[in-house]
Amino acid sequence: MTDLRLTVGGIELEATWTNDAPETRAELDAALPVSGDAIRWGDELYFDAPLGVSSENAREVVAEGSIAYWPAGGKLCLFWGETPASVDGEPRAAAPVNVVARATETKPLETLEGGARMTLERAEER
């Protein structure tokens, strides 16, 4: 079941919640929809989304398609490939992040050039 819709530029992706960071997930869910002009860092996009949560099962290496919250910087992040911090090709954050959801597909993001407007909303909100 699709829980979320992620729009990156003109690309629409489906995503599902994870159970890795339940407190962060609850805070983000209450704040939806969230959007911002995302900055690109390798194959990661991030934008301001201050939630007021701390590290919760935070990690630097994440799965492809991970939607994560960086508590130290107040940013929502999307990972779909290598970043400048990557080792052996894995998606890697610059600092630990709380993974809250995962995009079911990331291949369309390979066409992105630079930053993009990013929106995360409940799938039924449209």
| pLDDT score of 124 | 84
Task: Kindly report whether the global pTM for this prediction surpasses the value 0.85.
Answer: yes
Q: Residue 33: is the preceding peptide bond cis (ω within 30°)?
A: yes
pLDDT for 107 beyond 60: yes
Cα(81)–Cα(107) distance, integer angstroms: 10
Task: Tell me the pLDDT tens digit for each residue of 26-83.
Answer: 999 999 999 999 999 999 999 999 999 999 999 999 999 999 999 999 999 999 999 9
Closest CA relative to residue 20, chosen from 50, 49, 59, 53: 59
Mean pLDDT of the chain: 95
Nearby residues of 92 by Cβ (< 8 Å), 6 or more positions away: 60, 61, 62, 82, 83, 85, 86
Q: What domains can you pick out in the chain, each with its CATH number?
A: 4-125 (2.40.100.20)
Q: For residue 65, which of 11, 107, 95 has the smallest C-alpha distance?
A: 107
pLDDT reading at 23 higher than 90: yes
The pLDDT of residue 125 is above 90: no
